[in-house]
Amino acid sequence: MVQKLEKIWMDGKLIPWNEAKVSVLTHTLHYGLGIFEGIRCYQCDDGRSAVFRLKEHIDRFFDSAHIGGLKMPFSKKEIIGACKETLRANGLKAGYIRPLAFIGEGVMGVYPGDNPIQVAIITWSWGAYLGEEALEKGIRAKFSSYTRHHVNVMMTKAKISGNYVNSVLAKREVIKLGYEEALMLDTEGYVSEGSGENIFIVKNGVIKTTPLTSILSGITRDSVIQIAKLRKIPVVEERFTRDELYTAQETFFTGTAAEITPIREVDDRQIGEGKPGPITKELQAVFFDIVKGKNPEFREWLDYL
Ligand code: PPE
């Protein structure tokens, strides 16, 4: 359960956590057109707190609003400031930030008319998404029977609340079967992404990840690509099949919540040695050094509180 903190930022100001409430007539609650972000703040080795790639997350937040046709009532600068203010107000040194914009109360019916756009920023403490052991030993994933979005059914470049119905169904399905995370195929049968993560495979020293067609353009995905390139590990963005994934030597998920989570088994088939491989471990080590402020090469990714 999310542990309640002091304050939530809502529609321009910090208010007590328990007062951050909405009407049951909230349009988004009925029809799903809301947009959100997920951002992490880390405590660096020098004791300071830094938000990871805050600018890129807020840019994506505004892109999502643009795609969804929601007119944001705040500027990027105001939202960036509000994210930091909310962390500070809650005394969070490290944690997760969830900006959410949604269509409020007004008319009912699919057409949202001029209902107001509301914005909330919630912060909470969030450890390893799939557990500490997952980061160390890797997880067991399974392809869900649900297909990932078709690009002309859902707007996959936007983090739209309603898009996540597909993720919830897929994740519930595989958890019930005893796996830890769901993978999904796209509408043409190629590997797409996890319920809340992008996917990478490694074979013969080459990293491969899904192209941006049917997936969320992950910021962690982009970070991993940039890290790999700088370390001269070749990366290709190319479609691949489920059996190519089975025969990879390493595979891992990336995401703000999931960070870099190795996958040791997919559909009951061991991947490589059945434990995090050398490239996965190297990328994980560099990534955690960066977020902890230990890597000067990527200092611009950190926005100190
Ligand atoms: N694909 C999906 C579908 C997705 O939801 C995420 C993030 C990613 C890829 C990775 O994107 P990025 O965080 O920019 O690297 N999923 C968020 C929500 C997780 C949740 O359960 O809530 C997250 O990781 O914050």
Residue-wise DSSP of 128-160: -TT-HHHHHH-EEEEE-SSPPPPTTTS-TTS-B
31-48 CB burial, b ≥16 within 10 A, e <16: bbbbbbbbbbbbbbeeee
Query: Closest by alpha carbon to 280, among 217, 218, 216, 199?
Result: 199
pLDDT at 214: 87
Per residue in 154-185, pLDDT (tens digit) is 999 999 999 999 999 999 999 999 999 999 99
99 Cα to the center of ligand 1, angstroms: 13
CB distance 192 to ligand 1 below 6 Å: no
Q: What is the CATH number of the domain that holds 73?
A: 3.30.470.10
| Domain edge (last residue) among 74, 89, 124 | 124
- Above 90 in pLDDT, residue 255? yes
Residues 136 and 38 in one domain: no
Task: Indicate the number of domains in the chain.
Answer: 2
* Distance, C-alpha 170 to centroid of its chain: 16
CB distance 218 to ligand 1 below 6 Å: yes
3-state helix, strand, coil in the chain (%, to 5): 30, 30, 40
Number of other residues whose CB lies within 10 A of the CB of residue 142? 20
Does residue 298 belong to any structural domain of this protein?
Answer: no
Residues 139 and 207 in one domain: yes
Is residue 254 a contact partner of residue 287, using CB atoms and an 8 Å limit?
no
Report the distance separating Cα 217 and Cα 100, nearest Å.
Answer: 18
- Above 90 in pLDDT, residue 118? yes
Query: Closest by alpha carbon to 219, among 167, 182, 254, 184?
Result: 254
Work out the average pLDDT over 249-258: 98
Per residue in 60-107, pLDDT (tens digit) is 999 999 999 999 999 999 999 999 999 999 999 999 999 999 999 999
Helix (H) or strand (E) holding 107: none
Does residue 228 belong to any structural domain of this protein?
Answer: yes
What type of residue is 242? R
User: Is residue 176 flagged as an active site residue?
Assistant: no
Per residue in 11-47, pLDDT (tens digit) is 999 999 999 999 999 999 999 999 999 999 999 999 9
Is residue 198 a contact partner of residue 220, using CB atoms and an 8 Å limit?
yes
What type of residue is 280? T
Catalytic residue among 159, 203, 281, 292: 159
Number of other residues whose CB lies within 10 A of the CB of residue 189? 11
Report the distance separating Cα 221 and Cα 193, nearest Å.
Answer: 11
Ligand 1: residue whose CA is nearest its atom 20? 196
Give a three-class secondary structure readout of 228-259: HHHCCCCEEECCCCHHHHHCCCEEEEEECCCE
Residues 193 and 264 in one domain: yes
CB distance 257 to ligand 1 below 6 Å: yes
Residues 254 and 147 in one domain: yes
Residues 11 and 93 in one domain: yes
Residues 174 and 87 in one domain: no
Beta-strand runs (E) in the chain = 7-10, 13-16, 34-36, 39-43, 49-52, 95-103, 117-124, 139-143, 181-185, 191-194, 198-203, 206-209, 235-237, 250-255, 259-266, 269-270, 302-304
Q: Ligand 1: which of 197, 200, 215 to mutate, most ligand atoms within 8 Å of CB?
A: 197
The count of residues in the chain is 305
Backbone angles phi, psi at 7, to 5 degrees: -130, 150
| Domain edge (last residue) among 82, 108, 124 | 124
| Domain edge (last residue) among 91, 107, 124 | 124
The domain containing residue 260 runs over which residues? 132-291
Is residue 247 a contact partner of residue 203, using CB atoms and an 8 Å limit?
yes
Pairing of strands 259-266, 139-143: parallel
CB distance 99 to ligand 1 below 6 Å: no
pLDDT at 83: 98
Does residue 94 belong to any structural domain of this protein?
Answer: yes
Q: What is the CATH number of the domain that holds 253?
A: 3.20.10.10
* Tokens standing for residue 192: 């797409």
Ligand 1: residue whose CA is nearest its atom 10? 255
